[in-house]
Amino acid sequence: MIRVLQLLTATTLGGGPRQVYHLVRRLPRDEFTVCVGGPENRRYREQLAVMGVELAPLDVDRLGRFWRTVFRTLRLIRESRAEVVHTHGKGAGFYGRVAALVAGVPVVHTFHGIHYESYPCAGRRLYLALERCLAHLTHTVINVSASQDTEALALGVSRPGRSAVVVNGIDAEELDTLSPWGRSSLLTFEREDVTVLGCVARFDPVKRHEVLLRALSRIVPRHPRVRLLLVGGGPEEDRIKRLAVALSIPPGSIVFPGALDWRTNPYTAMDIYVTASAKEGLPLAPLEAMASRLPVIASDVPGHREVVAHGETGLLVAPEDDKALAEAIESLLDDSERRARMGRAGRERVLRDFAIGPMVEKTAAIYRAAVVTPGRRR
């Protein structure tokens, strides 16, 4: 048996925790045993417990407590008797790789998007320098898309021969079995009366929720029955709510239900999925929307280009351009046949190119290679 420790920077709604959940659920039980370390989160703990997997409390997002966090991470590696450590996110990637070096355990690190552009100039240089050093401690850097792999190699945060592309996978069949979201009890509108635009994302600056709001402010005067459903939570939520008021968007036109349980399918409440993110690795939510037979309108950035086939499964628009986004949305509002055609094509694309099986198989192969690497310490 190969013992794998998954280390997460966050355990709330987001691509990393969701990917780990599916990975843990699908890894062959006769070959791998898994422990997950990350910040305490009741929902995530319960979901892992159903599979007999423990969530070990570990907060790796506090750089001010360096030695204490290194020690706790090292202790978890030893207590779990990990033979491979798989890190996700900046904090986990830093502490996990440093502690694994001390423990003599090989490390796999996944970039769920390489985000550093919002840092000040000195911060960007420091972050990239640190990631380049950490790359030398890493057995394999996993990138979730080919475009991200190219970026990582160009930046030097992964190394030739020690980098792999493992595309995010979606369990479309499981998505079909999830409980449809009970929108009637939470929203102020009825399905037959409105067209619902939806986005499932953490309220983070990179997601550019403000672009969605500005596009909606253009659309609502001409299409008063359009609603925007923003699922998720995060530090930007209050600012986005204030912006909705400042833009004079009518009350009830935007709904903020917070982060929903993963056992619920929010896409059943939507007619069109929309995202204006400034940067993505390979986002899970648009894939889930496509698997749910929704057309996807997305900003034309590398991660989205690998998901959305423009004109076939959805539309790509210039990033930061709320006018272009509004026009793309309006082009689908009154064309239910085109929306249905794109939705069917999106479902077929997910089943063909983004199935969960290959993601699990490729990751398992990386674990096996890490364990048998010659010269590693036991």
- Domain chopping of the chain, boundaries: 2-169+356-371, 172-353
Contact 277, 301 (CB under 8 A): yes
pTM above 0.85, yes or no: yes
Q: Which residues contact 103 (CB under 8 A, 6 or more apart)?
A: 74, 77, 78, 82
Question: What pLDDT score does 296 carry?
Answer: 98
Does 2-169+356-371 match 172-353 in CATH topology? yes
Half-sphere exposure of 133 (CA within 13 A, CB side): 10
Fold of 172-353: Rossmann fold (3.40.50)
pLDDT of residue 176: 87
At 12 the pLDDT is 79
User: Which residue, 249, 277, 264, 273, is CA-closest to 196?
Assistant: 273
Query: Could you name the CATH architecture of 2-169+356-371?
Result: 3-Layer(aba) Sandwich (3.40)
Residue numbers of the chain with a pLDDT score lower than 50? 185-186, 375-378
The span from the CA of 82 to the CA of 158, in Å, is 23
pLDDT of amino acid 190: 54
pLDDT score, position 375: 47
pLDDT at 191: 56
- CA-CA distance, 25 to 43, in Å (whole number)? 16
pLDDT of residue 259: 78
Residue keyed to tokens 């979201």: 181
